[in-house]
Chain A
Amino acid sequence: MSFNGWLQATPTWLTLLVAYAVTVLAYVLGRVLNQRLPAIPAIIWAVLLLMGMLAGLHWPYAYYLQRVQPLFDHLLGYVTVALAVPLAAMRLDDLPLRMMTALLTFASVTAVLLPVGLAYVLHLSEPTLLAYTTRAVTTPVALNIAAILHAPAALVSLIVILSGVIGAACSSILLRKIDDERAVGLALGLAAHAIGTVQAWQRNPVAGRFAAFGMAVNALLTAIWLPLVYLWWFKTR
């Protein structure tokens, strides 16, 4: 029986159930493999396993995504909203607020301008330029910003994940002369978001907390100014 024939013969609820089960199974196995081989982030394992399972089932990716997207759009929304809790629980009493404000603003702006500027110089396509605007924002927020900017979601996701892996993998060499764990953590959270934050937690709890702070504030700041600038830019063009 052909794939289309099989799909038509299979009840919708069953294909939905299989699609969800495959996703959860890939995620759980990814977590297990990450515990055995921590150098490779769990999300990378999970993605590879998911694609392997879809190939094994002979399911085209577009078909799979169409099945699971309604539920996972909701989940993505919940993860985005959940970022409010650690942000609200932060203590800022012990920090130099002016310096932190300046650094976070600088980081939020350069994290957009640097990749977009480089991509423009190298004549990359417009969808790629748009996708680079969210390079330094954690995936759930990046995907929400991408929806507003009409940037391709898969490319946004690719950029965010790969940059997290690159930042986390090179951090021990690149930051070997930085002896303040707070600075290391903040830089990892700002430049390599969620995957960098995991790396910072593995390095030191102080670095981990600062990384979570940097990641969350950067996501919040960028989610405020980037869509506004984008909308203003298109109105004045």
Chain B
Amino acid sequence: MPTEPAPDDIKAHSDVNTVSTLPPTTGPTLKDLTVIGVIIVGVRETSVWLMGLWDHAELGNLCGLFLLLGVLILLRRWRGLPVGWVNANALFMREGALAFLPISGGAILMLGLLGAELWPFLVVLVISTLMPLWIYARLAQHGLRLR
């Protein structure tokens, strides 16, 4: 007789037409926020420190991303990912724009400094955004229909 999947186990759930898993049903708990926060900070700082030993501290963030991804994939196969972690992380991701707000401020100033490059710059930006958007959508629709 099939057993009931554990409710806090991410691999136990299936949702047709989704690539992410569970939609958040309740807000993340303080415990989940703390655990996932400590994991992210720990992995990032360790990764930057390790890459710093090889004089490539600038690779620390990306290496931290790959390191955590590898660990979480193994954890998911072994025990499943707690849904609370995914929900807590979703909150961090939603508010992640705060992290690049200071740099983005400089972006607005940069627009004024482009001078003669402004119009070609905008032409490249518009074409290279809208053309792929349309092409990717057409290709994805075609490919998913064939399924």
- A: residues with CB less than 8 A from B are 23-24, 26-27, 42-43, 46-48, 50-51, 54, 61, 64-65, 68-69, 72, 74-96, 99-100, 102-103, 106-107, 110-111, 114-115, 118-119, 122-125, 128, 132, 135-136, 139-141, 143-145, 147-148, 152-155, 157-159, 161-163, 166-167, 170-171, 174-175, 178-180, 182-184, 186-188, 190-192, 194, 196, 205-206, 209-210, 212-213, 220, 223, 227
Chain B residues, Cβ within 8 Å of A162: 107, 125
Which of B104, B108, B136 has the most C-beta atoms of chain A within 10 angstroms of its own C-beta? B136
A-B contact pairs, 20 of them (CB 8 A): A26-B101, A27-B97, A46-B104, A48-B108, A51-B105, A79-B99, A81-B65, A91-B18, A91-B20, A106-B139, A119-B120, A140-B100, A141-B62, A143-B103, A144-B62, A148-B59, A154-B110, A171-B133, A183-B137, A194-B97
Compute how far the CA of A153 lies from the CA of B58 in the bound complex, rounded to whole angstroms. 13
B140 near A180: Cβ-Cβ < 8 Å: yes
B65 near A220: Cβ-Cβ < 8 Å: yes
Q: Does B1 contact A (CB under 8 A)?
A: no
Chain A residues, Cβ within 8 Å of B90: 86
Compute how far the CA of A50 lies from the CA of B107 in the bound complex, rounded to whole angstroms. 12
Compute how far the CA of A124 lies from the CA of B115 in the bound complex, rounded to whole angstroms. 12
Compute how far the CA of A181 lies from the CA of B102 in the bound complex, rounded to whole angstroms. 34
Chain A residues, Cβ within 8 Å of B89: 82, 85-86
A72 near B147: Cβ-Cβ < 8 Å: no
CB-defined interface of B11-39 with A at 8 Å, one 1/0 digit per residue?
00011111111010000000000001000
Compute how far the CA of A101 lies from the CA of B145 in the bound complex, rounded to whole angstroms. 16
- Distance (whole angstroms) from the CB of B135 to the closest CB of chain A: 8
B97 near A43: Cβ-Cβ < 8 Å: yes
- Distance (whole angstroms) from the CB of B76 to the closest CB of chain A: 6
Chain A residues, Cβ within 8 Å of B73: 88
B18 near A82: Cβ-Cβ < 8 Å: no
How many B residues touch A, CB cutoff 8 Å? Answer: 81
- Distance (whole angstroms) from the CB of A222 to the closest CB of chain B: 10
B97 near A91: Cβ-Cβ < 8 Å: no
Compute how far the CA of A194 lies from the CA of B98 in the bound complex, rounded to whole angstroms. 13
Compute how far the CA of A119 lies from the CA of B117 in the bound complex, rounded to whole angstroms. 10
Compute how far the CA of A111 lies from the CA of B106 in the bound complex, rounded to whole angstroms. 24
B20 near A81: Cβ-Cβ < 8 Å: no
A178 near B98: Cβ-Cβ < 8 Å: no
CB-nearest residue of chain B relative to A178? Answer: B137
Chain A residues, Cβ within 8 Å of B126: 166
- Distance (whole angstroms) from the CB of B47 to the closest CB of chain A: 8
B129 near A89: Cβ-Cβ < 8 Å: no
B143 near A100: Cβ-Cβ < 8 Å: yes
- Distance (whole angstroms) from the CB of B18 to the closest CB of chain A: 5
Q: Does B6 contact A (CB under 8 A)?
A: no
- Distance (whole angstroms) from the CB of B43 to the closest CB of chain A: 6
